[in-house]
Every structure is written in structure tokens, then in C-alpha cells.
Structure 1
Amino acid sequence: MRGGPGLALVTAAVGRQPRLLAAGISAGLLWTGTKLAAPLLVARTIDAGVLGGDSGQLWLGVALFTGLAVVGAGFAGLRRYFGQSLAFVVEADLRDRLLARMVRLPAAYHDRYPSGVLLARVTTDLQQVQQPLINIPIMVSNVAMLVGTAILLAWIDPVLAVVALAPAVAVFAVAVRFTRQLGPRALALQSELGVLAGIVEESIAGVRTTKGLGTEDDERRRVRDQAGQVQRAALRLSSVRATYLPLVELLPAFGLVGVLWIGGLRVAHGALTVGELVQFSYFGLIIVGPLRIAGMTASQLKRSAVSARLIAAVLDEQPEPTAIEPTASAGSPATTASAAPPAGSGGGLEVRFEGVTFGYAPERHVLRELDLVVPAGTCVAVVGATGSGKTTLAALVPRFYDVDAGRIHVGGRDVRDWSLTELRAQLGLGFEDAFLFSGTIRDNLRFGAPTADDDQLRAAVRLAGAQDVVAGRPGGCDAPVGERGLGLSGGQRQRLSLARALVTDPPVLLLDSPTSAVDPAKEAEIVASLATVIRGRTTILIAHRPAVIALADQVVLLEGGRVAATGTHQELLASSPYYRQVLATQPDGPVSPDGPAGPDGPDPEAPARRDALVTP
């Protein structure tokens, strides 16, 4: 494995397990000792016991050889056991570090890399790193075997030593050439595997859409085409191995042939005994195994190096800052505001946007010099056409992304002057695409507040209007929700997601289309609950439906990443054609200042009904 961040990463991970490493290497060296002793014992037994006619030496040699075989087998098992233990512990360590880093990486990183590619880092690449680690004790013992064999053969007969060991030099030269060809092909294979993992993950996640559109064959073809790319990359890699490995098999055989030929001549001339020739042949046989393993190990090491480099690249990414960054808002006025109250203390915090400009790509701004103040304890509805920047505005408050220009203040402090943990503790987040984790309803409600008691959970469920979701499931809060919450309807997931956001009683709420997945009847219940939820909290409510917008103290209309108009729902209906146009695209249609029009004109009771929604 060549130097670089990948090697440094794996070396450091192995170094954190000194006991397993030492135990595996010790067992390997002891195994090597038994292997090196065997040919010496064979030579003595043949010369003294067989040719010398000493039956005592013969029986002693047989007994000692049997003992060496048994002891060697035991050390071989220990060598393998400790090698595998080391590999699995290092793999678990790296996986833990990798997952910890992935969840800390900014949203922009996850925007760039599909989940399937990251999944490949945690699975396929870690397995490639793990495989050669199993062989560390084996590699060390094999090197010791070659060195020990070279010393012993040179001591017995230097000429035959050169003949016997020449294949090792040839194998090394071939291995260098082999690894150079292997690297690019191994990288190509790992890349194709990452793409395949992404496609498979996407196919499984979107199986309902695939079935609904009747595109099963198309999806199967897409997976098969990428699998074909993987197969071709694997075959290109295998072609190099198929050329190299036969040489590893063949070269040691030439060494053995040379030993038998030259050694036989030396025995005939009396320069060697028969036992010494057998001994040389035995040494030639036992180095075949290490040389063959060296060939396979070279292939593993190259793929492992590629995978380790890919893993190291993820770990080298800059995570979201968890501590306060005192220089992040350099140039801004020093804040004199006192620290915000801890999460769960009730009351709202002012949220202020000052000249905020942001884009997901350079020179493609979604928000442009946006100024907005959400006073503490008030609710502001953010309305706009698709692409106007509504969701982006909400994503900037918890620092999923950092602004390109301008500042955002929460509770009088620049969000960059908070630690992320402290900042996000003040926020309750409810997304349009409500995501639930596998487990029970209780597990999901406690996901952000593991110490929450049942009273807190019940209060949050009641506020979110999700009582029927809990009551309607066998087991109540202990009912499983299924993978990604797919055991529930979209509206049920949305209400449980809202309840989860309310468990900690956050002073600031960021809600993105909280009723988008429910029917009108259930929407009325959630709107009534929201009227209670937002009281006394600072709420940014990304809304599309008039019934939800009517809850807000103020409505902000976005157009092209800027604030186009502000006012109450009724004021904007009366004064802004663009506002009415945006609402007209919603299923409910626009609502006139006097309420929804019926067949005979405006409904005179509509304002009273709307007021009732916000009446405790």
C-alpha cells in the first residue's frame, strides 16, 4: 500500500490495537519457527536415522516432527484468529469514525454526493480495507520465513541458496510491475461499485413509484446496465491478476527444479548429503506458499489502498463546526446581547435576516440581499412560487448552509457565534418531507430528546394533533413505524414529525408546509393545533394553503429571492396581484379578504371561522 492519507489512516487505526497486533505477530513468528525447524529435523533424521541405520534417531525424528506439526497448526490457528480479530476491530473503528463524520458533514457535501456513494464507503470500501489486515500476522511471518530461510540456506550451501531464492527476487520484480497496472483499474472498479450502490439504493427506496408508473423493466435495465459496467471493470482488473498469479506459481517451481538439479549433482560429487538435499528441497517447498500469498496480497493491498484513500477523503472533509467560531462573523458589530435562554424555557427569540445573499452554486443566488425581521413570539408565513427561496431561507437559520453575504441573528446573536449544538437546541424543525426512523413511535418522538418523559411526549402529540395516530396503532407509542416510517400515511408521518419537533418545547419553530400531506378535514385539526403551538413562539411558517397562512401575524411574499411584499394575509390579498396569483396555484385557490366566495358571493361567516382557528 503506497504512502498517503489512506496508509496513514489505516496505520493509525491498527496502531490503536497494539495487543491484538502483538498477539497476531507473535503467533505468526512462533509458527515460522516451527516451519524453519522442520527441514533441519528432516535432514538429521534422514542422514542419521535412515541412512545411518540409527532407529532411535529415526523414531525421535518422527516424534519431534509430529510435535512440530501439531504445535505449528495451533500457532497457525492463533495467527488467523488474532489477524481476523484485528481486522474486524479496525473495521468497526473506521466505520464508527466514518459515520460520525458523515452525519457531521454540512448539507452541501451531501448535496454533492449521492447516498449510495457514501454507502459504498461504509460497506464495500471498508471491506476492501479489512481484507489485507487479516493477513498482517501472515505477512510478517512470511517475511520472517523468507529471511530465516535465506540465512539458513546461505549457511548450509551459498550456491544452492542463490538458486533457491532467485524466484523470490523475480516475484518481487513482477509484483512491482503488477501493482502499477492494478491501481487505476482498482480505482475504476471502486468508483463503478459506488455508482451501482447508489442506483440500487435509489431503486429500493423508490419501489412504490416504480410500481405505480409500471417501469419495473426500465429500472431493472438501469441496474443491469450499471452492473455490466461493474462487471467490465472487474474483468479488466482480473485480467491483470490472471497474468500475474500464474507467474507467482511458476517462478518458485523453477527454483525447486534448480535445487534438485544442482543439488543432485553436488550429492553425486559428495559435496552434499542426501539429507541436506532433501532439506534444501523442503526449504524450497515452504517458501512457495509465502511467495504465492505475496501475489494475492499485492492485489489486496492495491485495492485496499484505493479504498483507504477514498475513506480518508471523507474523513478529511471539514465537518460542521460544533464549537463557537469567534472569527466567523468578523467585521460585524460586536454582539452585546445576553445569551439566549436554554431550549425548553419557553418564549420566543427574535430572528433577523440582514442583507442575506446565498446560492447553492457560485453566481447562482437563490436569496439576494434579503432583509427580514421575525419579532420574538410572532409567526411569519413565508409564501412564494416554486424556486423563490422559501425552503432555503428556513435552512439557513440552523446553519445547514452558511450565507454568502449578510448575517442572520437568533436572539440577538449571529448564528455563527453560536455553537451548532446550542443554536439547534433553540429550534424545532418540521420538514415537508417528514422522515421517520425505523423503530417505534416513542423512539422517533424521543429522537432529539432522549430523556423526555411520557407526559412530554403526550403533550407534544396532542399539540401536533397526532393523538389518533398513536391511538390507532397496536401498542400505541410502542408501535413500530416501519422502515422510514412507511408503515404510516404521509399525513401521519407529518404529524409525528411535528410532534417530535415540539417535544423539547423550542422557542423558535421552523415549519415547512406542515399540512401538505393531509386532507382538508385533517388540515383543519392541525391548523387548530398549530394555533396553540405557535402562541408565544417565534415561528417561520413556510406555507402554501390559505388556512395555514391565516395563522400568521405577518405574511412575507418572496419573489426571485427577495421580499416582494409584506402584510397580513388579508392585506396582501387586497393589494398584491402576485400574491393572489401564487395562492391561485394551490388546491384551495385564493381567498378574498372577506373569505372564500360561495355560489352566492362572499361567505359572511368566513372571517369568524378564520378567527376561530386562532382562538385558544
Structure 2
Amino acid sequence: MRISDLPYPDPGDPDVRSGFRFLVWLWRAQAGGQLKSLAWGILQMGAVASFPVVVGMAVEGAAAGSGERLAAVGALVMALGLAVMVGDTMLHRTAVTNWITAAARVQQLLARRTSELGAALTRRVAAGEVVAVSTGDIEKIGWFVESVSRFGAALLSTIGVCTALTVYEPLLGGVVTLGVVVLVLAVLPLLPPATRRADVQRAKAGRATELAADTVAGLRVLRGIGGEELFLDRYRQASQEVRRAAVHTARMWSLIDAVQVVLQGLLLLSVVWTGTRMAVDGRVGVGELVTVYGAVTFLLFPLRLFQEVAMAYSFSKPSARRAARVLALRRQTGESPAGGTGGVREPHGDLYDPASGLLVPAGALTAVVCGDPDAAGRLAERLGGHGAGSVPGEPSVLLGGVPLDGLPLATARTAVLVQDKDPVLLSGTLEELLDVPSSGAVPPRRALEAAQCGDVLDALARASAEPGGDPMRARITERGRSLSGGQRQRLALARSLVADPQVLVLDEPTSAVDSHTEARIAGALRRVRAGRTTVVFSSSPLLLDRADRVAFVRDGAVAATGTHRDLLAREPAYRAVVTRDTGGTADTTGAPGTAGADEAPGDGPVAAEAPVPHRHEQMEETA
């Protein structure tokens, strides 16, 4: 796999039973690149390890006064230098490739799982953990996966050098081999504490990242209540905890470094002392002593790689564990998460939720009233199949009698589109925002008109840098932060109308607009979605009176159904929610909403449709 070939056509199905198994799976997934890196590493380290032998030959040749031997040694040095240069260059190339491709594979897997789970992801895993995995963790995972091949080359080179020294000079070779074993074993007891400290550091960093993400996302609200300093102090405290944890971890690695340096120095002293005594006694020649000393000096290089792979594993272990935990989350369906429709036909018919008893007739505009906004959001996600698997044992929503959880994800999302109460607008032009997969039945201009986006278009035209001020080419900043809450909400509604799904689920689509605009949106929504199934979660009388059918959900189940005016007259609890009467004891006698009950929904005057207005001229959010 080359970097130019990224992204992967299919990143594969990872082994997420544990963090270690996930790392092993990543290594095996790019075994070809790992073997190339191993081969180039062996060439590079083998050439470097051969230099002491050549230097020993040079010393012996000089002592013997042999010019031919010195010339041969010079040729060998040039050949070894060329081998080191090629091996080092290609090792670096393959190692970086392995690092980047492993990180890219993890990133693709995370993106696929995030896309599959949708809004259910952040209910099952903290948002800060997802951010930490998709940013810093993938780099550490790639580092360890890449370093394994270099560690393999270092291990084979070390074994080869120790074996050759033992054969070449048994006593000195035995001292070197024993010293290397002591060096490795001395560090092993220090690795678990270092790993635990790294775990604590990464956990604190994840919490700090989550706090920072939440603070940035709610900055406008924090400014409104003067809470910037409070959250800034919290982030300062969290960041200081991360700093202290990082220092605590660094101290352990400093101790490991110190142990390595001390033991390596003792090994060199032992070899020099033993070799000198043997040279004085005439048991070894000067060239042989130089060869052994040079080989010991070389061994310090692979030993440093042993420490690096240990450090890489200690840092990547918690990262791999977090990644495996996120990737283990599944949408409960027998189909491939990223697969297409797979020949499955899109179902048609009524939408039914067995858990709540909510029935949405096909082709009708159905309004759903919930006393709890959070319960409304969860039910809206269930209707789209986006919350699949979040509640074990919960029955699947049915569309035309077909379980949404059993459909391929692409098919389910094509059939049912859910727009939540806080829709996200991606950065780009308005034209790009509305360029979504659609049936083509609702052009962008018609959708913008239905969503009452005239003032938004005017504002974008004035802000456009192009001559003529074409609002469709005006850029929208990230998450639409340059727009008011009502403008973002209406643009999101226009995008949903352009998509023109078979079933459109809207969660409080007009909560941030004034009542006059809301009334016009309600009428336009009914016209644009004629013949299509539309579900609106709202307690606004302006929307409820336009609905063909209203379902009142209480304690997670449908308590009553009917028209808005019918429910006002006969359901005190429904009337309490719609009129904001917390006591729930509003009198039905002579209620203004019961007048003209023989009129079809939406035909009567808006001002007389509810006993108490949904808002007293609520204006759009401007801050």
C-alpha cells in the first residue's frame, strides 16, 4: 500500500476484542509494508554491524603493513557505506508509509463507525473521547504499528551480533550477551508503571479535550450568561492536571533512560576491562579487541530501539483500547455498516414505532407533542433508525411493516430523514449546502421559499464578495456561526426539503423563529410535502393546527390521537402542554380553540386557534 493509494477502498473489519488485538490486526492488515520495512532495516543494521569487523581488519592490516589488505578494507567500507545509505533511506520511506497508512486506516474506520451510529454515538461514548481517538490517538497507534518492524530488525541484528561475538571470542561474546540480557530485563519492571502513568495522562487529556469542545460549542451561550471565565478556569484546571500527569509520566521515562545509560556504560567498561586483560595476556589481538568493542558500541543503537518500541506500546495501548471501544459500537443490523442498498428495495407505507405505539400514516402530515423535549429527541431519532442499538431489547421501528434496523444503513437513511433540533451547517457556499442527494422534485429555490429564507438570501447577497451578490455563491462559515439561530434553522429546513425523502422527521423545526414566520412555514410545509410522509415534533399551535393528525406522547407512549382542536377540547394533559399550563387544569368550557371545530385543520384564522399563544411574538435569536 502506497500513500498515493489512500484512502483505502475498504479499511476492513477490525478485531476490536481488545486494544492489543486491534494493534495486531492493524499490523497484519499491512503485513506487506511491514515485511519491506523489516528487510530494509536488516540491511541497514547489518551493514552498520559489519563496520567493526572491517575496522578490526584495517587495524590488523596496518599492523602487518599490508597495503593490499588496506585497499580491500577501503572497498568494503565503501560497499558498506552504500548499503547503509540505501537501507536507511528505504527504511525511513517504508516506516513513514506504514505509519501514515495505519493512521489512515484507523481514521477511515472511525469515520465509518461515526457515520453509521450518527447521533447515537455521543450517547454511548463521550464526545471528548471520540475527538481524542480521531486526533492524537491515531498518531500514537500508527507510531507503534510502524515501530514493530524496526524493532524486529533491531532484535534480529542484536541476536546475530551476540551470536557472532560468542563464536568469534567466547569469553567476550558471553560478557556482551549477558550484558544485553541484563539491559533488557532491567527495564521490564519499569514498563508497567510507565504504562499506567501514560493511561492516566491520556484519560486526563481526553477530559480536557471534551471540556474544550463543549466550551467552544457553547461559547455564544456562555457569553450571554457571562460564564466565559468560569469555564476558562475549569479548562485551566483541567490543562494543569494534564501537565502534571505528563510530567509524572516523563519522570518514569527519564528513570528508564537513566537506567539504560548506566547499564550501557557498565557494559562498555566490562568489555574494555576484560578485553584489555585478554590483550595483555596475549589471548586476543588488538584488531580483535577493536572489533569486539565496535560491536558493543553498535549494540547500543538497537537497544535504543527496544526502549522506543516499549514507549510506543505504552502510549499506544490506551489509545488502541479507546479506539477499539469506539469501533466495537454497532448498529444492530445484519447488513454491512458501509454497504449500499445491496439490492434491497426501499420500503413504503405507514411508519410505526412499537415501543411508543406511534403510528404515522403514509402521505400525511403528523404532529407529535411530547411534554419532555429530550424524550421527543430520542423518539425522533428512533423513527429514523439512527438510535438503533442504543437501548438493548427495544423493538425496531417499522416502515411499511419492514424493520428499519434490518435494512442497510444507506437504504434506511434514504427512506427516512431526521432533522434534529440543533442542525449542523457545514462550511461552504449556499449552493454546496443544498447540493444533497435528492429526488429532484423540490428545487433549491422552492425549498428556500418554503422555509421563508428571503431575509437570509438578502443577508448572504450583501455579504457576498462577488459582483452582483449571488446569494447561492455566498460562503457560510463553519456551523453557520455567522447566521442567527433562526436563519440556521430555516436553511437546515430548506436542505431537508430539497432532499425530499419518503419520510421527513422534523424535531422543533421552528423553535428559533417568530410566530409570523412560523405560520408561513407551517402552510408552505404542508404544500411542499403534499403526498409525502412528514412528522413534526412540536408544541406550537401554529404547526399543530396544520397537521392532518396529532399524537400526544406521555411517559414514552401515545396517550391520545386526533386533530389539534379535538385534543384541546378533550385532553386536559395535552392542553396543559400546548398552553404551558403546568397545573394541567385548564377548563375546556368555552375554550377558544373549540370554536369552529367543524372547519378543516388550517382553514380557520391563526389568531383564534389556541387558548394561549405559543409565543408572545418570539423573535429570532440574534446573538
- Class of the TM-score when normalised by the shorter of the 2 chains: 0.7 to 0.9
Question: 1:301-340 alignment to 2 at 5 Å?
Answer: 301-321=313-333, 323=335
Q: Deviations over 1:26-64 (max 9, x none)?
A: 221111221122111111111122x11224433543453
Match in the other structure for 1:259? 271
- Pick one of 365, 377, 386 that aligns with 1:391: 377
Aligned AA (2:386): F
Which residue of structure 1 lines up, in the alignment, with residue 420 of structure 2? Answer: 431
Task: Between 563-572 and 476-485, report the one with greater CA deviation.
Answer: 563-572
Residue of structure 2 equivalent to 1:412:
401
Does residue 84 in structure 1 map to residue 79 in structure 2? no
Match of 1:509 among 504, 507, 515: 504
Match of 1:173 among 160, 185, 191: 185
Match for residue 444 of structure 2 among 457, 461, 468: 457
1:45 corresponds to which of 33, 48, 58: 58
* CA displacement at 1:324 relative to structure 2: 10
| Secondary structure at the counterpart of residue 499 of structure 2 | coil
Distance of 2:546 and 2:344 partners within structure 1: 26
Matched positions, count? 566
Q: CA–CA distance in 2 between the matches of 1:260 and 1:566?
A: 93
Query: Does residue 609 of structure 1 match 2:605?
Result: yes
The whole-number CA distance in structure 2 between the counterparts of 1:539 and 1:523 is 17
Distance in 2 (alpha carbons) for counterparts of 1:509 and 1:106: 17
TM-score for both structures, normalised by structure 2: 0.83
Alignment RMSD (CA, Å): 3.2
Taking structure 1 as reference, are residues 156 and 507 closer, same or farther at Cα in structure 2, changes over 3 Å only?
A: closer
1:341 and 1:79, CA in 2 relative to 1: closer, same or farther beyond 3 A? closer
**Residue 190 of structure 1 pairs with residue 189 of structure 2:** no
Q: 1:152 to 1:576 in 2, by over 3 A?
A: closer
**Counterpart secondary structure, 1:541:** strand
Counterpart mapping for 1:200-599 below 5 A: 200-321=212-333, 323=335, 342=346, 349-354=349-354, 356=355, 370-386=356-372, 389-401=375-387, 404=393, 408-449=397-438, 456-470=443-457, 472-473=459-460, 474=464, 475-585=470-580, 592-593=592-593
Aligned residue identity for 2:428: G
- SS for the counterpart of 1:503 is helix
Q: Distance in 2 between matches of 1:573 and 1:455?
A: 34
Give distance in 1, aligned partners of 2:395 and 2:441. 42
**Contact 1:382/1:555, CA 8 A, preserved across alignment:** yes
**Residue 349 of structure 1 aligns to which amino acid in structure 2?**
G
For 1:432, give the aligned amino acid: K
Q: Any stretches of 5+ residues in structure 2 without a counterpart?
A: 1-15, 338-342, 465-469, 597-601, 610-623
CA distance in structure 2 between the aligned counterparts of 1:306 and 1:137, rounded to whole angstroms: 21
| 1:509 alignment partner, SS class | strand
Which amino acid in the other structure matches residue 507 of structure 1? Answer: Q
- Distance 1:279-1:97 versus aligned 2 partners, 3 A rule: same
Q: Which amino acid aligns with 1:592?
A: P
Give the distance between the partners of 2:290 and 2:493, measured in 1 at CA.
Answer: 80
- 1:398 & 1:511 partners in 2: Cα distance? 11
% same residue: 27
Distance across 2 between alignment mates of 1:340 and 1:53 = 85
Q: By how many angstroms is 1:278 displaced?
A: 0.9
Q: How far did residue 127 of structure 1 move?
A: 1.4
Match of 1:20, as an amino acid? G
The letter for the 2-side match of 1:381 is: A
Contact 2:592 2:608 (C-alpha < 8 Å) held by counterparts: no
Q: 2:440–2:498: 8 Å Cα contact kept in structure 1?
A: no
**Are residues 120 and 136 of structure 1, via their aligned partners in 2, closer, same or farther at CA, if it must alter by over 3 Å?**
same
Gaps of 5+ in 1: 326-338, 357-369, 597-605
- Equivalent in the alignment of 1:16: 29
1:90/1:130 contact within 8 Å kept? yes
Answer with 405-414 or 531-540: which moved more.
405-414
Code of the aligned partner of 2:362: A
Secondary structure in 2 aligned to 1:105? helix
- Cα distance in 1 between the residues matched to 2:24 and 2:344: 44
Deviation at 1:405, TM superposition (A): 5.6
The 1:240–1:511 alpha-carbon spacing in structure 2 relative to 1, beyond 3 Å, is same
Contact in 2 for aligned 1:106/1:320 (Cα 8 Å): no
| Contact 2:428 2:476 (8 Å CA) reproduced | yes
Distance 1:408 1:69, change over 3 A: closer
Query: Which piece of structure 1 moves more, 562-571 or 270-279?
Result: 562-571
For residues 20-99 of structure 1, the aligned pairs below 5 Å read 20-49=33-62, 51-62=63-74, 64-99=76-111
Change (3 A) 1:416 1:285: closer
Q: What one-letter code is carried by the residue in structure 2 that aligns with 1:45?
A: A
What is the DSSP-based 3-state SS (H/G/I as helix, E as strand, rest coil) of the residue aligned with 1:580? helix
C-alpha contact 1:79 1:137 (8 A) present in aligned 2: no
SS in 1 for 2:550: strand
Report the residue type matching 1:510 in the other structure.
Answer: V
User: 1:224 offset after TM fit, Å?
Assistant: 1.5
Counterpart Cα distance in 2 of 1:371 and 1:140: 60
The 5 A counterparts of 1:102-141 are 102-105=114-117, 107-141=119-153
Higher mean C-alpha deviation, range 417-426 or range 435-444: 417-426
Q: Is the Cα contact below 8 Å between 1:6 and 1:309 reproduced in 2? A: yes
Aligned counterpart, 2:8? none
Q: CA 1:454–1:253 in structure 2 vs 1: closer, same or farther (change >3 Å)?
A: farther
Aligned to 1:599: none
Contact 1:448 1:500 in 2 (8 A): no
TM-score, normalising length from structure 1? 0.83
1:607 CA drift (Å): 6.2
Displacement of 1:159: 0.4
**After superposition, what is the alpha-carbon deviation per residue over 1:327-362, rounded to whole angstroms, capped at 9, x for unaligned?**
xxxxxxxxxxxx99858xxxx8323344x2xxxxxx
Q: Distance in 1 between matches of 2:374 and 2:38?
A: 63
Is the Cα–Cα contact under 8 Å of residues 245 and 296 in structure 1 kept in the other structure? no
Aligned partners of 2:106, 2:179: CA distance in 1, in Å? Answer: 37
Evaluate the alpha carbon distance shift between residue 341 and residue 75 of structure 1 in structure 2; reply closer, same or farther with a 3 A threshold: closer
Paired residues of 2:129 and 2:322 also in contact (CA < 8 A): no
Moved more, 107-116 or 163-172: 107-116
Please tell me whether the aligned partners of residues 175 and 298 of structure 1 are also in contact (alpha carbons under 8 angstroms). Answer: no
Q: Measured at CA, do residues 406 and 235 of structure 1 come closer, stay the same or move farther in structure 2, by a change above 3 Å?
A: closer
How far off its partner does 1:489 sit? 2.0
Q: Distance in 1 between matches of 2:353 and 2:379?
A: 9
Q: What amino acid does structure 1 have at the position aligned with 2:471?
A: G
